[in-house]
């Protein structure tokens, strides 16, 4: 199995609902490093998993929908945990892969994993098939 | 599949038995960065894999049993290799997850992976189901 | 010249006033890795610059005043840029060093530098004497 | 499942054939951080996956065949993408594991993964069984 | 003293002239992480050292002149060592700061430092006043 | 001012004397990442600060004197703090630079800085002139 990963980042505000979140129920924020991994069983004709320039552009486009915003307004009523955001971004990338935005290679992908680092000591991932 | 990872570290002394270890048969030491990954198929009601505060506390508690010690005394007669320590910590976290120390989410975990970085150029992991 | 550095982090929301900030005028957030460096010309009797446990505690205490908050409320009317926050934290640490909170070594410090990483591709520092 | 990873690096020149590569069709270069992961279901008698000293030597030997070279000459007519190089190195390590160069533990390996970081924002992996 | 740093990267081919370079006399390549640090004694009205968006754009523009190229052709007859490239980029940024491309804050800068990381185990810097 | 930095690491055991060290008075250990920075006002004929291959070899030789040892035996009666070790290594490198082991460039150095990272959240430096 091959994979290619590209990294972006976003800086967002949000708050959480639920006692489990303790002081993080207050409005606060985070820089998320966003790593998107594209998996594929075989390489294409050019010896690539997917056009890495397109992969970077699509990830940047998905991240731009959230970047420099208050997620309590962008996704109201949702606990935008790191786990949730990893799935949200993975699912958006999956749509784009299926619709051809990642080029021909994107339609051959076996899966996508998105990892969000919320600090140097905590991160979360969501892994899905395509 | 979702996962959440938290990082701790510990600073220990130890020595190894066996020619394969060469000069590492001498008493020496290591800083281990300890990454504990908790995997779960679905998110809980709060959109989390597990209470990350509890996850961090439990990892800190497990690491504290080893931190700032000579492992030749803590675990006598054992080659406390990076691989061994990764399993040791993963198994201790698994016990705590099953006993409810990680909260309700901890009982829903599919697996745990522990990665120990012994330097910027070498690390080891142990991955297990729950 | 000797120095010792300890790292903490904080997750905050804030917004900026001024056209120069572009889309960052919106409420957003950041994880700041906070590195506090304590400089001293000579080592003390214990071969240390400063008690690193105390240094870590004091940095944690200063960071805790800002962590998991909306800085627009904590420091109203201020552009809490990365540069500004680096000075803010350095000045708070300097007060604590002078008042003896860092132990005897803290009174012998030549200077303090605070570096805040706002992402993997941008950071800011403030360096001062004591 | 256990794993052990060692890191090397190499500095190479190359160019790509195909419009998908855009300006990377020009002769350029890269520093690749090369992480080789050796997986094994059970630990051996010494509590190790594989002799890490041997693992490091074998990885260094494989990387040395490419390091400080123009890959357009070493592997003519091939698009030496990050993905391709990950497989190339993994396959060379697999040969060495099977031939006993990694010691007895090397013959017990379940698989090898090689990850090549081409920058702080892009990397690729190839994972195979043994 | 305040400073702000932004990071870019470039992927180049080059070769060196001189026995001191050993096998690096061959055509090879490197990914350089390029960190540009802008220093200033006081903050401006907006609490910033320099417009970080402009700083990033100017650094990107300077790096783009070298990125994905063979430096033996871009700068013929020059040993484009990491040290040399750090100065080259710092000097180009200094020109742009003086000419106003970094905005008003750019004219108030005390100095610029450029650090180029050629791998995870080697880097070089050039520090200059303005 | 130019500088070049090379990184090594060492894995040592040691204990500290003095109440200030708390539980670190027990025998424990550390992996130290060792960064040696060589500073020089002007570049030599080859556009280098110092022969980086020689710099790496000399640093490796100095580190090898301490690596995989119990520092309580190597340097008895000394608190081998991170700060102390940074100076120890810097002074050894300075001797080697003056004696010509770093080549002609080594005699032109303005200074040396050694930084030891004891974990991902703590490090210490010693900076000296030559």
pLDDT at residue E45, rounded to an integer: 87
Decide: helix, strand or coil at residue D114.
strand
A12 contacts in chain C (CB < 8 Å): 28-29
**Contact call for A52 and D122, based on CB within 8 A:** yes
Structure ipTM: 0.96
How far apart (Å, rounded) are the C-alpha atoms in residues C122 and C124?
7
**Contact call for B6 and A122, based on CB within 8 A:** yes
D118 contacts in chain E (CB < 8 Å): 11, 31
**Contact call for D47 and B83, based on CB within 8 A:** yes
- Minimum Cα–Cα distance from F22: chain C residue: C53
Given a cut of 90, is residue E96 above it in pLDDT? yes
Chain D nearest CA to B72, separation (Å): 14
- For residues B61-77, average pLDDT: 98
Chain E contact partners (≥3 CB pairs within 8 A)? C, D, F
In the Cβ-directed half-sphere of A34, how many Cα atoms lie within 13 Å? 30
Chains C and E, touching by 3 or more CB pairs within 8 angstroms: yes
D34 contacts in chain B (CB < 8 Å): none
How far apart (Å, rounded) are the C-alpha atoms in residues D111 and D126?
11
- For residues B61-85, average pLDDT: 98
**Mean pLDDT across chain B, nearest whole number?**
97
Burial class of residue A36 in the structure, from the number of CB atoms within 10 Å of its CB (0-12 exposed, 13-18 middle, 19+ buried): buried
Q: Which two tokens stand for residue E77?
A: 């007859």
Nearest to C121 by CA among C79, C64, C66, C82: C82
Residue of A1, A6, A46 lying closest to D122 (CB–CB): A6
Tell me D41's DSSP state: S
Residue with tokens 């609490």: E47
Chain F interface mutation, best of B8, B15, B31, B119, highest count of F Cβ atoms under 10 Å:
B31
pLDDT at residue B47, rounded to an integer: 97
D7 contacts in chain E (CB < 8 Å): 120
pLDDT tens sequence across F99-128: 999 998 899 999 999 999 999 999 999 999
Neighbours of A119 (CB within 10 A): 20
Residue of F7, F13, F31 lying closest to B118 (CB–CB): F31
Angle at C113 between CA F87 and CA C121, to 5 degrees: 100
Given a cut of 90, is residue E16 above it in pLDDT? yes
Helix axes D82-98, D52-64, angle to 10 degrees: 130
User: In the beta sheet, which residues pair with residue E86?
Assistant: none
Chain F nearest CA to C3, separation (Å): 5
Distances (CA, A) of C102 to C58, C98, F94: 7, 8, 32
Tell me B56's DSSP state: H
pLDDT at residue B45, rounded to an integer: 87
How far apart (Å, rounded) are the C-alpha atoms in residues D80 and F55?
32
pLDDT at residue F86, rounded to an integer: 98
Pick from B103-107, B109-113, C73-77, C80-84: least confident? B103-107
Chain F nearest CA to C81, separation (Å): 23
- For residues B76-83, average pLDDT: 98
How far apart (Å, rounded) are the C-alpha atoms in residues B88 and B81?
10
pLDDT at residue A45, rounded to an integer: 87
**Contact call for F122 and C2, based on CB within 8 A:** no
Residue of B2, B6, B45 lying closest to A125 (CB–CB): B2
Chain F contact partners (≥3 CB pairs within 8 A)? B, C, E
Burial class of residue F35 in the structure, from the number of CB atoms within 10 Å of its CB (0-12 exposed, 13-18 middle, 19+ buried): buried
| 8 A C-beta contact, residue E94 and residue E110 | no
Nearest to D124 by CA among A37, F73, E121: A37
pLDDT tens sequence across F50-87: 999 999 999 999 999 999 999 999 999 999 999 999 99
Over the Cα atoms of chain D, what is R_g?
Answer: 15
Spacing of C-alpha C107 from chain mean position: 18
How far apart (Å, rounded) are the C-alpha atoms in residues B109 and B37?
10
Question: Could you tell me which residues come within 8 angstroms of residue A130 by beta carbon, excluding any fewer than 6 positions away?
Answer: A94, A97, A98, A109, A110, A111, A112
Inter-chain CB pairs, C–E, below 8 Å: 59
Task: Report pTM.
Answer: 0.98
Q: Which two tokens stand for residue B9?
A: 């570290």
* Helices (runs of H) and strands (runs of E) counted in chain F: 3, 4
How far apart (Å, rounded) are the C-alpha atoms in residues B97 and B100?
5
F125 contacts in chain C (CB < 8 Å): 2-3, 5
How far apart (Å, rounded) are the C-alpha atoms in residues E12 and A12?
34
Chain D nearest CA to E1, separation (Å): 28
pLDDT at residue A102, rounded to an integer: 95
pLDDT tens sequence across B23-50: 999 999 999 999 999 999 999 989 999 9
pLDDT at residue F45, rounded to an integer: 87
pLDDT at residue F119, rounded to an integer: 98
Chain A contact partners (≥3 CB pairs within 8 A)? B, C, D
Chain D nearest CA to B83, separation (Å): 6
B11 contacts in chain F (CB < 8 Å): 24, 28-30, 118-119
Given a cut of 90, is residue E114 above it in pLDDT? yes
pLDDT tens sequence across D58-88: 999 999 999 999 999 999 999 999 999 999 9
- For residues E70-81, average pLDDT: 98
- Minimum Cα–Cα distance from C64: chain A residue: A23
| 8 A C-beta contact, residue F26 and residue B68 | yes
Q: Which two tokens stand for residue C21?
A: 């900030």
How far apart (Å, rounded) are the C-alpha atoms in residues D7 and D52?
11
Name residues of chain A where pLDDT drops below 70: none
**Mean pLDDT across chain E, nearest whole number?**
97
How far apart (Å, rounded) are the C-alpha atoms in residues A70 and F12?
47
Chain E nearest CA to D28, separation (Å): 4
- For residues F13-42, average pLDDT: 98
- Minimum Cα–Cα distance from A120: chain B residue: B7
Element (DSSP H or E) covering residue E32: strand E28-40
| 8 A C-beta contact, residue B114 and residue B65 | no
């Amino acid at each position: 199995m091959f994979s290619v990963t590209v990294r972006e980042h976003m800086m967002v505000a949000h708050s959480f609902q639920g006692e489990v979140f303790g002081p993080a129920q207050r409005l606060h924020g985070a820089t998320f490093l966003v790593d998107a991994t594209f998996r594929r069983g075989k390489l294409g004709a050019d010896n690539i998993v997917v056009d890495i320039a397109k992969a970077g552009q699509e990830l940047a486009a998905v991240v731009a929908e959230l970047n420099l915003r208050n997620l309590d307004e962008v996704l109201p009523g949702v606990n935008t945990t790191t786990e949730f955001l990893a799935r949200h971004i993975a699912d958006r990338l999956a749509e784009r892969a299926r619709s051809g935005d990642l080029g021909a290679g994107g339609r051959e992908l076996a899966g996508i994993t998105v990892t969000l680092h919320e600090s140097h000591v905590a991160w979360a991932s969501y892994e899905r098939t395509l």
